Structure 1
């Protein structure tokens, strides 16, 4: 059969497609924006036909109904990352979490550690050669398609065609469901005075010609706003958001000084607004690669003048960084933070630096503040970036270099960039902890 015959023979409704799922299966979704919402909704609607279906993925922008208590006899959420719609299931006991570095997920799938019975993905319509494009999510999505026993695809004509490791032939997919709907979009973050101050402090560590890795949210966008006077910046990042488009259009980001993939932004997934998706569509300057390449520390290390900027929930006096849990509660996941922190440390040119940026305080629901710089991490919290790996911590009050510093000097540097309301209290804890004057 030619590809059109293959495609037409496998077309069906979403209701028919999800009948491929059997009780006891492990079902994984493509990542973030590439999650096939129509197929997920059909799976939920067919819940009575299933018992103990394990649902796995990293970030979801969906409702996560399969993780709710009313579906616990039918679905069991096992997150490789957690999102607002899924994290409560872990605390409630009917969901679970598997720690994993982002760059290792494809290898876990290949080796059968994450053996997939069914993989569900959203793709573009096939081109004239019979190839669909995953569009916004190469990461572990491409390996999921390759390794799963059954692949179900939602063919959405609004998925952008983005170059790189993103194309899959129709023969690799078992069921096609045609849809047409906009991709999920993220609202632009609100950037206040605190975020702007953090952004300016981070920008002090970025030189002309640097290659950047940034996450998503108010702090990364504030950093990007603070880089408008820089020149010849490049991107090698787990993801990009709309702030990168602004700097590219302003000529600040041109990828001309990169030591790896000169002239191109290399990312593993996209998550932002339609403007971002339209920017990436058929743009030779943007290339999506799988996460076992983009986030592999050995690949990260090949970039020149690398600056990695990530965020966290808390840092203790020793420099232990907590980014994915609040006490015993699983909040998110390790993602790619450690991949890039270690890649920067391994930089072949010896110039890589890793920044953990955060506001100095968190505001509780009752309006009170708590310091994010603490003498000890919370009971039950997991260390994301170890004290051996940590490089720079940045808040709105300054920059704390930690690499190569003693425990006392680390604590002093951190207290100096803590919120002023907590510094005296932290100094007292310092003297009690170290039996020494601050």
Structure 2
């Protein structure tokens, strides 16, 4: 049978494609805009016909109707990382949350510790050899495909066909449905003076020839905007976004001086504009790989001068970062922060930056605190922390004593909180 005939045989309506799911199944969905909207809407419409189904995913983008406490016994979201659509449910308890390093999710799936019965994913159109590209999010999805009983694709001509380990053959597909809707675009966050000041401190410490890991957010984008005068930067990251594309177009990112996979930009998911998705399409300089490859600290750390830039919400005097919860309430997730902090620490000449505004809630709360708020989930440990940056400066903590750390962090706190932080440090015998 030809590939085209096999394709036609497996093509179904979204309503019918969803019927491969059985009661009790664990559905795995890729990160972000790689989630298949047509399939997830069809699942939502039929959710009351199922019992005990879970949908596991990092960073959901849209709030589908199955995000519903009244039908959570039918179809229940399982968050590998909490996002906007899942946050309220995770905090209320009707959405489950799985703590895990992003890099280890494929292994957890392979070992059966995280279930994968069915995979739903966006995919590019099939090429003449019968292959689809899961370019927008191979992440843990490639591992899930190996374990799953059924794989269902939403084939869309707006999904780029990218290079890398992100392909699935028509012979591996159980069912597919088609859509032509534009891939969801995620705009750049607003950059204010605080973010710009933090970005400048970081950008000034990035040398020519460095390799970048840049996440999503106003501060990382503020860093990118101030790198236009740099030369021969490289990319080994988990997310490829518009900021990276802009630096490529400006001739700043060439990947020529990377030690590991020179000439290639490496990422595990794409998140940005239509222009970015077009940039990824059949671009030989872009490779999309599973997250256990991109985020492996040993592999990423083979690049000299690896720069990791990640944000946190709160940091204590020892350098423990609470980046994923507000006290006991989950807010986001571990993601790849710890992966890349460790990778940068392994890298010769590498630097791991944890960035945060000095205050929250209109300058009423200091994000630098003597101790983390009780119940806060620690994301980056005191043993891994390197550079901490606020709009007031840079504190280098790795290899430093607890006393030095407290003093350095107080020096980059908001001035209105420095006296009370100093008094707290004295009571803790840190000053």
Equivalent pair of 2:214/2:237 in contact (CA under 8 Å): yes
Q: Secondary structure at the match of 1:78?
A: strand
Q: What is aligned with 1:303? A: 303
Q: What is aligned with 2:125? A: 125
Change (3 A) 1:45 1:64: closer
Q: What is aligned with 2:188? A: 188
Q: CA-to-partner distance for each residue in 1:381-427, whole Å, 9 max, x for gaps?
A: 11111100100000111000001111111011001001111111111
Q: Secondary structure at the match of 2:41?
A: helix
Deviates more, 1:59-68 or 1:313-322: 59-68
> 2: distance between equivalents of 1:85 and 1:211?
33
Structure 1: unaligned runs, 5 residues or longer = none
Q: Secondary structure at the match of 2:303?
A: coil
Q: What is aligned with 2:379? A: 384
CA shift at 1:281, angstroms? 1.1
Equivalent pair of 1:267/1:287 in contact (CA under 8 Å): yes
Q: Does 1:213 align with 2:250?
A: no
CA shift at 1:70, angstroms? 2.4
Q: Does 1:13 align with 2:13?
A: yes
Q: What is aligned with 2:344? A: 344
Q: What is aligned with 1:416? A: 411
CA shift at 1:228, angstroms? 1.5
Q: Secondary structure at the match of 1:257?
A: coil
Q: Secondary structure at the match of 2:334?
A: coil
Q: What is aligned with 2:396? A: 401
Q: What is aligned with 2:260? A: 260
CA shift at 1:179, angstroms? 1.0
> 1: distance between equivalents of 2:216 and 2:173?
31
Q: What is aligned with 1:32? A: 32
Q: What is aligned with 2:236? A: 236
CA shift at 1:213, angstroms? 0.5
Alignment of 1:7-406 (within 5 A): 7-347=7-347, 350-363=348-361, 367=362, 369-406=364-401
> 1: distance between equivalents of 2:64 and 2:85?
5
> 1: distance between equivalents of 2:140 and 2:73?
28
Q: Secondary structure at the match of 1:183?
A: coil
> 2: distance between equivalents of 1:414 and 1:293?
34
CA shift at 1:324, angstroms? 0.6
Equivalent pair of 2:44/2:64 in contact (CA under 8 Å): no
Q: Secondary structure at the match of 2:236?
A: strand
Deviates more, 1:403-412 or 1:64-73: 64-73
> 1: distance between equivalents of 2:270 and 2:30?
12
> 2: distance between equivalents of 1:45 and 1:65?
7
Deviates more, 1:166-175 or 1:66-75: 66-75
> 2: distance between equivalents of 1:336 and 1:343?
10
> 2: distance between equivalents of 1:430 and 1:343?
31
CA shift at 1:115, angstroms? 2.2
Count of aligned positions: 431
> 1: distance between equivalents of 2:305 and 2:363?
40
CA shift at 1:133, angstroms? 1.1
Q: CA-to-partner distance for each residue in 1:26-57, whole Å, 9 max, x for gaps?
A: 11112211100100000010012111211211
**How well do the aligned residues superpose, as a CA RMSD in angstroms?**
1.2
CA shift at 1:77, angstroms? 1.9
CA shift at 1:221, angstroms? 0.7
> 1: distance between equivalents of 2:410 and 2:137?
40
